[in-house]
């Protein structure tokens, strides 16, 4: 889920930027430092939006920079296990599909796509369900559940997020529409009887 958070941190303002507007410098430093980074407790930083409050600066021996206590507002994505999320397929391979969740990509393994047998159509870059003939292609919007979460704070790109679609209500937009249609037909048949 996405959160708009108010956070506090110490910010180092380098001396060569002292002549400029302090609020702007601090916002720059925070954006440079945090955007795209990951912490386990907070999540994935997407943007630092606003500086709310700048405390008194402090000088530390041996460093010409000034350290300010700053309260600021940031937009973060914090994923939780079992959370249902929506994303877009950005790449398909023989072992599954990569799904973009916005700031980070997640992995949807072939074994977690459907109860069907899945085969990979290399020419069209599609993963095809053998029985139902449904398929997943690059660009499809999907709804899936987070089942594995391994965030790497040092190397955000090395983080691994596993998804599943083997549950009712999960799948690509097209599957969900088909499912809804079927559901409606069944409902109508029951109503008539």
Partner 1 sequence: MESYTRYERARIIGARALQLSMGAPLLINTVYTEPLEIALEEFEHGVIPITVKRK
Are the C-beta atoms of 132 and 116 separated by less than 8 Å? yes
CA distances from 176 to 34, 84, 89, 134 (A): 37, 14, 16, 11
Tell me the site size for partner 1, rule CB under 8 A.
Answer: 9
Tell me if 19 contacts partner 1 by CB under 8 A.
yes
Decide: is 21 part of the binding site for partner 1 (CB under 8 A): no
Nearest approach, Cβ of residue 105 and partner 1 (Å):
39
Identify the bridge partners of residue 43 per DSSP, sorted by sequence position: 39
Backbone angles phi, psi at 34, to 5 degrees: -100, -35
CB of 22 to partner 1, least distance (A): 11
CB of 11 to partner 1, least distance (A): 16
Among 1, 59, 81, 84, binds partner 1 (CB under 8 A): 59
Of 56-64, 77-85, 126-134, 147-155, which segment contacts partner 1 by CB under 8 A?
Answer: 56-64
Rounded distance between C-alpha atoms, residue 110 and residue 160, angstroms: 16
Please, what sign has the CA dihedral across residues 85, 80, 71, 20? negative
Rounded Cα distance between 1 and 73, Å, is 17
Binding marks (x or -) toward partner 1, 77..106, rule CB under 8 A? ------------------------------
Shortest Å, Cβ 19 to partner 1: 4
Question: Could you say whether residue 54 binds partner 1 (CB under 8 A)?
Answer: no
Query: Is residue 15 within the footprint of partner 1 (CB under 8 A)?
Result: yes
Beta strands 135-137 and 43-59: pairing type?
Answer: unpaired
For position 55 contacting partner 1 by CB under 8 A, the verdict is no
* Least gap, CB of 52 to partner 1 (angstroms): 23
**Angstrom distance (rounded) from CA 112 to CA 127:** 12
* Position among 7, 65, 107, 125 found at the interface with partner 1 (CB under 8 A): 65
> Shortest Cβ distance from residue 56 to partner 1 (Å)?
9
Q: Which residues 6+ apart lie within 8 Å of 71 measured at CB?
A: 6, 7, 8, 51, 52, 53, 55
Binding stretches for partner 1 (CB under 8 A): 14-16, 18-19, 59, 63-65
């Amino acid at each position: 889920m996405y959160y708009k958070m108010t956070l506090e941190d110490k910010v180092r303002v380098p001396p060569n930027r002292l002549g400029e507007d302090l609020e702007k410098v601090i916002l720059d430093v925070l954006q440079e430092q945090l955007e795209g980074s990951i912490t386990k407790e907070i999540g994935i930083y997407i943007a630092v939006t606003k500086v709310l409050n700048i405390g008194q600066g402090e000088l530390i021996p041996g460093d010409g920079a000034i350290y300010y206590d700053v309260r600021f507002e940031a937009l973060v994505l914090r994923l939780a296990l079992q959370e249902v999320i929506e994303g877009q397929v950005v790449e398909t391979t023989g072992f599954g599909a990569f799904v973009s969740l916005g700031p980070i990509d997640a992995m949807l393994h072939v074994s977690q796509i459907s109860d069907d047998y899945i085969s990979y159509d290399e020419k069209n870059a599609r993963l095809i369900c053998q029985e139902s003939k449904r398929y997943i292609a690059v660009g499809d919007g999907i709804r899936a559940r987070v089942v594995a979460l391994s965030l790497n704070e040092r190397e955000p790109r090395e983080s691994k997020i596993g998804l599943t679609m083997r549950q009712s209500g999960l799948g690509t937009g097209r599957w969900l529409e088909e499912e809804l249609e079927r559901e409606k037909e069944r409902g109508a048949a029951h109503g008539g009887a």
